[in-house]
Amino acid sequence: MSTYRAPIADIMGALDVADLDALLRLPQFKHVDRATVHAALAEFGRFVTEQIAPTDMLGDIRGSVFDPVTGSVAVPDEFHQAYRGLVEGGWTSLAFPSEWGGDGLPGLVGIAIQEMLASANVSLSLNPTLTQSAVELLLVSGSENQKRRFLPHMMTGAWSGTMDLTEPGAGSDLGEIRTVAEPDGDRWRVTGTKVFITWGDHNLNENIIHLVLARTPGAPPDSRGLSIFLVPKHLVDDVGQVGDRNTVTCLRVERKVGLHASPTCVLEFDKATAELVGPLHGGMHTMFTMMNVARLAIAVQGPSIGEVAYQQALDYAHTRRQGKSASAADSDRSLIVKHPDVQRMLLTMRVLTLASRLLVYLAAGYRDRARYEIDANDRALAQEYLALLTPVAKAWATGTGVQIASLGIQVMGGIGYVEESGMAQRWRDSRIGPIYEGTNGIQAIDLVTRKIPHRDGAPPPD
């Protein structure tokens, strides 16, 4: 049951807290004005409400299905048309540089797009989220040849991307990665098993581009010995044409608490043809480009799910009658929204959603500034704020998302706990936020041991 209404006014308010107008004055964004941003967000809000949100509960019920005979993964049928709308509307490339076919809008606006998409269907949203993170990595670290062959297809959403870090023995501690990459002429061969790979295999895109952390022969045994390899599901020739199937196979799709329609895959790489991305043994540094982009994209799932849970709980509270509020006439049963305890829960949901949105958008604004401020000192300062805010935004917004969804169940009472209401899905879908993209415990360690000591505990200057 979807009741999502895109909260454009609240989102514009959050963009203002992140100082959208100042961002639009930077030379990089001189072709964009506030009215364009507002119009794009309003149009996207209409699109996701009408075309994406109706696929959300269907996706949860049907899930993405693995066929053990063919080794293929099928997403719910309804996703194909919904995704086509996303691609044909050009929404996946809105915040990418125009030189590669994007619209060149600030990444801050891209975060607002991500928020609305995840409110409408968080499982589906993870496909473009991972692809966009992979695009960022290739923009920063890919060779000109790689950019030319892969970026146009990935930016348009024709091909998807994945981030392949986790292994059975290597979760938070990536230094334990055992996947190997061996040189083979001008290419590499990747062998190993990766687990929990989001959208690791599926039938939604023509090709899937895996960015895999692996160790080369003789490399240091810890995280300093890792490099990134690009492994396409289907090989790609010199002009970007798709060819034969590569030797990467999906062994299983995980059954899990939530995100049923997002295929979480165990992938086996068997001497798969691969290309090095970025410097040899520079894998962790290169992958952090992708992980930091993904961290804010995951952070925004907090307010995404919070918003839709709040709207749904509020709607229910305006229709359900139980008991009598203090102000009700003797003969009336009251709407539950009249009870102070229900109001307390709804207001808590509302303020936590607003606050977590502001925090994530603030960080996203600093990310644009760190790239595009004219003055090098301003760029460095913005980078410092971004580094400080990223673990806070990721951990607080995702933890808060779970709390808001849980309150949504409480507002609805027993029916909230029943799957038919849809609120239970919000709670299940939100639960992964504090786990993936570095657990919230790891974010806390990053904040306390790396970010806060940077100026001996003092904040960066205003």
Is 66 a residue that touches ligand FAD (CB under 6 A)?
A: no
Which pair of structure tokens corresponds to residue 262?
């997002």
The mark string for 79-98 relative to ligand FAD (x by CB under 6 A, - otherwise) is --------------------
Is 60 a residue that touches ligand FAD (CB under 6 A)?
A: no
CA angle, corner 108, sides to 55 and 229, nearest 5? 75
Which pair of structure tokens corresponds to residue 160?
């998807």
Sole binder of ligand FAD in the list 165, 212, 308, 360 (CB under 6 A): 165
Q: How many CB atoms lie within 10 A of CB 26?
A: 17
CA distance 237 to 243: 7
194: enclosing H helix or E strand: strand 187-198
6 close to 49: Cβ distance less than 8 angstroms: yes
Nearer to ligand FAD, 103 or 167 (CB): 167
Cβ 335 to ligand FAD, closest distance in Å? 38
Span near ligand FAD by CB under 6 A; candidates 356-364, 374-382, 390-398, 428-436: 428-436
CA distance 403 to 349: 8
**Collapsed DSSP state (helix, strand, coil) of residue 130:** helix
Candidates 78, 167, 307, 437; catalytic one: 437
Q: Which residues pair with 159 in a beta bridge?
A: 207
Sole binder of ligand FAD in the list 25, 441, 448, 455 (CB under 6 A): 441
Sole binder of ligand FAD in the list 97, 104, 171, 399 (CB under 6 A): 171
Is 384 a residue that touches ligand FAD (CB under 6 A)?
A: no
Sole binder of ligand FAD in the list 92, 246, 264, 400 (CB under 6 A): 264
Radius of gyration over every alpha carbon of the chain, rounded to an integer in angstroms: 22
Span near ligand FAD by CB under 6 A; candidates 112-120, 159-167, 178-186, 284-292: 159-167
Question: Restricting to residues 176-205, which ones interact with ligand FAD according to CB under 6 A?
Answer: 196-198
Closest CA to 265 of 162, 133, 360, 140: 162
Residues 6+ apart with CB under 8 A from 165: 174, 177, 194, 213, 287
Sole binder of ligand FAD in the list 335, 355, 442, 452 (CB under 6 A): 442
Is 439 a residue that touches ligand FAD (CB under 6 A)?
A: yes
**Collapsed DSSP state (helix, strand, coil) of residue 419:** helix
Is 68 a residue that touches ligand FAD (CB under 6 A)?
A: no
Nearer to ligand FAD, 220 or 441 (CB): 441
CA distance 91 to 113: 8
CA distance 408 to 416: 7
437 close to 294: Cβ distance less than 8 angstroms: yes
CA distance 114 to 363: 14
Nearer to ligand FAD, 255 or 420 (CB): 255
Is 78 a residue that touches ligand FAD (CB under 6 A)?
A: no
Nearer to ligand FAD, 337 or 432 (CB): 432
Nearer to ligand FAD, 235 or 445 (CB): 445
Cβ 167 to ligand FAD, closest distance in Å? 8
Decide if 78 is catalytic: no
**C-alpha pair distances (Å), 10 with each of 42, 311, 410, 436:** 12, 13, 24, 27
Sole binder of ligand FAD in the list 8, 158, 235, 435 (CB under 6 A): 435
Is 412 a residue that touches ligand FAD (CB under 6 A)?
A: no
Residues of this chain that bind ligand FAD (CB under 6 A)? 163-166, 171-172, 196-198, 256, 259, 264, 432, 435-436, 438-439, 441-442, 445
Residues taking part in catalysis: 437
